[in-house]
Amino acid sequence: MQSSKLTESLTILNGVGPALAGKLQKLGLFRVDDLLFLLPLRYEDRTQLVRLGALRPGMRAMVSGEVLLAETVFRGRRVLLVRISDGSGQITLRFFYFSRQQQAQLRAGVNVSCYGEVRPGPLGLEMVHPEYRLLRPGQAPVSSDSLTPVYSITEGVQQGRLRNLVSQALALMKASPPAELLPRELLQKQGMPSLEEALLYLHRPPPDADLESMASGRHPCQQRLAFEELLAHYISLRDLRLMARREPAPALGDRDKLVERFLGSLPFRLTNAQKRVAKEISGDLSVPHPMMRLVQGDVGSGKTVVAAIACLYAISSGVQAAIMAPTELLAEQHWQNFNGWFARLGIRLAWLSGSQKRSERKMSLAAIADGSAQLIVGTHALFQEGVEFSNLALVVIDEQHRFGVHQRLALRNKGVSGQSQPHQLVMTATPIPRTLAMAAYADLDTSVIDELPPGRQAVQTIALPDVRRGEVVARVQRACEDGLQAYWVCPLIEESELLDYQAAEASYEMLKEALPSLAIGLIHGRMKAGAKDKVMRAFKNGEIQLLVATTVIEVGVDVPNAGLMIIENAERMGLSQLHQLRGRVGRGAAQSHCVLLYRQPLGQIAKSRLAVLRDTNDGFVVAQRDLELRGPGELLGTRQTGLPQYRVADLIRDAQLMPLVQQAAETITRSSPQQAEAIVRRWTGDAGRFGKV
């Protein structure tokens, strides 16, 4: 904002010293203009004074009267009871926390006005801890000329204090209005108010304001602010992409026909979607600027093969490629796949993980540093101190939303040689709705593998109450006797007093007793990497028929013979996680099934969630419903992605604004770069480059 006072510290306001400023920082309030964007949670109507005789339980009302009686009583605790009357009726004010000063003030004969919720009490109608104001002799109670805002507060900052500070900020805004950064024609075309009008209305709405639209966040004034905030973050991310495109990177191509040889060695043909995405990637890699591409693909769509093609472009150009996965289990799966594919092409691989033996790690580090390792596969250990690459030019990150932005960029920085930047390919099996991807990944080009390999059948899904566990156990027995393998997934490893989830170890013992003829294995996150690897290898080789597991098998495990998935406490998991788990079956030619066991009674949201999985196998439909039910933070992992914490905007509620945001960003950045920069600065401040760590 242009006004210097609005951009100054809160300590310029009356009543704000260092102690209060420290408390306000807990609410994200540092500068005066931060107060303007602290929008009310709700509003109270204090524009009308209600007679005490007209009060009814459940009303929130402003009343006034004379104190008839004030006494402190002991009812298990100290309570201050104040009885007031206005001639039409009486009401009791009840205070559990009060000072001696309040006791002295609230005495018989004093006039007060107060606001609170009316409820029935032992002495008739009462208000518990109402906001109140003492009136001077002859002073009439003052009703507000606008609705009263209720803000989010923190310890040591009362509503009254916060309202006073917002009032001071509004006065400064009126004296020096903020610059209008959105084009006038856009505001007129969309029927949007100016920034000043919107802020004033939201902090001081008139008595006839549409509270229903304001409660839902869809009032034109709220949408005006949400639009500009989404625009600020979109421009910020878009700038990152444009900056990256100007940086140098090695141009990579298939100089040794490695890709042709690789594709010829595969026992299957690429789908049209895989071919399309591979072509998009090769186009990115062929130019001397860093690729920044996100590949989305449903479970089993073949993202790994596409990543392998990208790696071959780097390797045939004489530089290194690295693949990073969030768990050892998934990293090991990639290691096995790439070893099987690339060893026959004479490509040298290196493995790096946190649980590696010191001698193995030393050998891997040496091969990575001298360049003899052409492809490096591992976990977050890849970007730790002491790992030096010879010439890293391509970074592939799987299940990228599980890594923090800092981690992703730390690996990228390992590849910086001189002024050159490595190419980045990030992949996710969590399909992301288009509007959310536009907001969260505007710094990345996006490719979608929207086709499953031929011959794959949709997994049939049913939901059953856990009282029918016996039938499910019998079904597992039949499936395994017919030659298939099965998963039995539980949320916890051990029994917990706090959580009544079915624990993996308890289920393992139960199933061993119920199915003595089957070979049953157990895998969970607390097992050492070697032990997990041994169990998974035995399951993949068919030595284990039924694998009892925690959600560690959510990603990466590929066992084509597994045709049955049982998920305990399905009602407690998110849709996208359930879809990921279900994706562990249905990888072979046989029809596969998934049983969602739930504990009754089932809430409405849980019913909706399970119904979605029964009705569709389309990951994008699942993701959209998950977004609606749980929000973008749950779907993407807010803390990990670096997804901004919006002050006004809501990515679900305001999704319809994103296409307009995209158009406006193009127009404003082209016609007025300074204006675009000011929009970013207004809404994000120093956090405007949250993606560029």
CATH number at residue 121: 2.40.50.140
Pairing state of beta strands 60-74 and 111-121?
antiparallel
In the chain, what are the helix, strand and coil shares in percent, each to the nearest 5?
45, 20, 40
For residue 220, tell me if it sits in a domain.
no
Position with higher pLDDT, 525 vs 474? 474
In this structure, are 267 and 118 located in the same domain? no
Contacting residues for 154 by C-beta, under 8 A, at least 6 apart: 23, 24, 26, 27
Can you give the CATH number for the domain in which 482 is found?
3.40.50.300
pLDDT class of 418 with cuts at 50, 70, 90:
low
Q: Is residue 72 part of a domain?
A: yes
Instruction: Compute the average pLDDT of residues 285-297.
Output: 90
pLDDT at 663: 92
For residue 309, tell me if it sits in a domain.
Answer: yes
Judged by DSSP in three states, 213 sits in: helix
The mean pLDDT value for 67-83 works out to 92
pLDDT band at 500 (very low <50, low <70, confident <90, very high): low
**Number of independent structural domains in the chain:** 4
For the CA atoms of the chain, what is the radius of gyration?
31
The single residue listed with the structure tokens 């008595």 is 207
Q: What is the DSSP letter of 49?
A: B
- Backbone φ and ψ for 637, nearest 5 degrees, come out as 80, 75
The whole-number average pLDDT for the span 360-384 is 91
Quick one: 424 and 331 in the same domain?
yes
Average pLDDT in the chain: 86
Q: Which long-range contacts (CB under 8 A, 24 or more apart) does 381-385 make?
A: 381/352, 381/353, 381/354, 381/356, 382/322, 382/324, 382/352, 382/411, 382/414, 383/324, 383/407, 383/410, 383/411, 383/413, 383/414
C-alpha distance from residue 214 to each of 27, 48, 166, 169, 380 (Å): 21, 20, 19, 22, 44
- What's the CA gap between 479 and 652, in Å, rounded? 41
Domain extent for 204: 10-43+152-209
DSSP state of 42: E
- Give which of 381, 315, 302, 370 is closest to 342, Cα–Cα: 315
CA-closest candidate to residue 173, choices 36, 39, 38: 36
pLDDT(298) > 50: yes
479 & 600 share domain: yes
Co-location of 526 and 554 in the same domain:
yes
Contacts of 167 (CB under 8 A, 6+ apart): none
pLDDT score at 111: 95
Per-residue pLDDT of 460-471, as tens digits, reads 999 999 899 999
Task: Report residue 479: phi and psi, to 5°.
Answer: -65, -45
Where does a domain end: 114, 143, 172?
143
The reply to whether 441 and 477 lie within a common domain is: no
Residue with the bigger pLDDT between 20 and 356: it is 20
**571 within a domain of the structure (yes/no):** yes
For 280, the 3-state DSSP assignment is helix
- Rounded Cα distance between 134 and 132, Å, is 7
The winner for highest mean pLDDT among 212-216, 325-329, 393-397, 405-409 is: 393-397
Categorize the per-residue pLDDT at 687 as very low, low, confident or very high, splitting at 50, 70 and 90. Answer: very low
Phi, psi (deg, nearest 5) at residue 42: -165, 180
Residue 552 Cα distances to 122, 296, 481, 549, 577, angstroms: 56, 21, 26, 7, 11
Specify whether 157 is located in the same domain as 103: no
Distances (CA, A) of 146 to 112, 194, 582: 21, 20, 54
pLDDT value, residue 629: 67
Is the Cα dihedral 269, 275, 277, 282 positive or negative? positive
Residue 24 is given by DSSP the state H
List the Cα angle 363/364/365 in 5-degree steps. Answer: 95
Query: pLDDT digits over 652-679, tens only?
Result: 788 889 889 999 999 999 999 999 999 9
Span between the terminal Cα atoms of the chain, in Å:
25
CA distance 292 to 427: 11
Is residue 634 within a helix (H) or strand (E), and if so which, with residue range?
A: helix 632-636
Query: 449, 473, 491 — which closes off a domain?
Result: 449
- Regarding whether 69 and 37 lie in a shared domain, the answer is no
Q: Are residues 346 and 491 in the same domain?
A: no
Peptide bond into 560 cis (omega under 30): no
Residues 299 and 426 in one domain: yes
> Are 324 and 397 in contact, with CB atoms under 8 Å apart?
yes
Stretch 254-279: mean pLDDT, rounded?
A: 92
Q: Does residue 247 lie in a domain region?
A: no
Contacts of 323 (CB under 8 A, 6+ apart): 307, 311, 331, 334, 338, 375, 376, 377, 378, 396, 397, 398
**Secondary structure (3-state) at 116:** strand
Tell me the CB-side half-sphere exposure of residue 674, using CA atoms within 13 A: 2
pLDDT on residue 194: 93
pTM: 0.68
pLDDT band for 110, please (50, 70, 90 cuts). very high
- Say if strands 148-150 and 42-44 run parallel, antiparallel, or are unpaired: antiparallel
653 within a domain of the structure (yes/no) = no
If asked whether residues 323 and 293 sit together in one domain, one would say: yes
What pLDDT digit, counting tens, does each position of 269-282 carry?
999 999 999 999 99
pLDDT at residue 353 tops 90: no
Structure confidence by residue, pLDDT tens digits, 554-582: 555 678 899 999 999 888 887 877 888 88
Looking at residue 1, its pLDDT comes to 41
Which run of H or E residues covers position 172? Answer: helix 159-175
- d(CA 562, CA 479) in angstroms, rounded, equals 10
Q: Over 80: is that where the pLDDT of 206 sits?
A: yes
Share of the chain above pLDDT 70, in %: 89
Q: What is the structure's pLDDT at 51?
A: 95
Q: Tokens 């919720």 sit at which residue?
A: 117
Give residue-wise pLDDT tens across range 325-352: 877 777 888 898 899 999 889 999 999 9
Residues 504 and 577 in one domain: yes
Give bridge partners of residue 112 from the DSSP assignment: 65, 134
- Which amino acid appears at position 273 of this protein? A
Q: In this structure, are residues 140 and 106 in contact, taking their beta carbons and an 8 Å threshold?
A: no
317 CB-near residues (< 8 Å, 6+ apart): 250, 251, 252, 253, 255, 393
**Residues 135, 59: Cα–Cα separation, whole Å:** 23
Least confident interval from 135-149, 429-443, 602-616 = 429-443
Does 583 reside within a domain?
Answer: yes
Q: Looking at 75-121, which runs of residues are DSSP E strands?
A: 78-85, 90-95, 111-121
Domain stops at, among 100, 125, 143? 143
Side by side, the strands of the sheet bearing 292-297 are 349-352, 375-378, 320-324, 392-398, 423-428, 292-297, 445-449
More confident: 382 or 319: 319
Distances (CA, A) of 211 to 45, 171, 203, 657: 10, 24, 13, 22
DSSP bridge pairs for 488: 548, 566
Residue 162 belongs to some domain of the structure: yes
| 523 and 589 belong to one structural domain | yes
Buried b (16+ CB within 10 A) or exposed e, 477-500: bebbeeebbbbbbbbbbeeeeeee
User: Is residue 67 within 8 Å of 55, Cβ to Cβ?
Assistant: no
Q: What is the mean pLDDT of residues 188-216?
A: 92
Q: What is the DSSP letter of 582?
A: H
Task: Flag whether pLDDT at 552 surpasses 90.
Answer: no
Q: Which residues contact 378 (CB under 8 A, 6 or more apart)?
A: 322, 323, 324, 325, 331, 351, 352, 353
Q: What is the rounded (10 degree) CA torsion for 654, 147, 37, 35?
A: -160
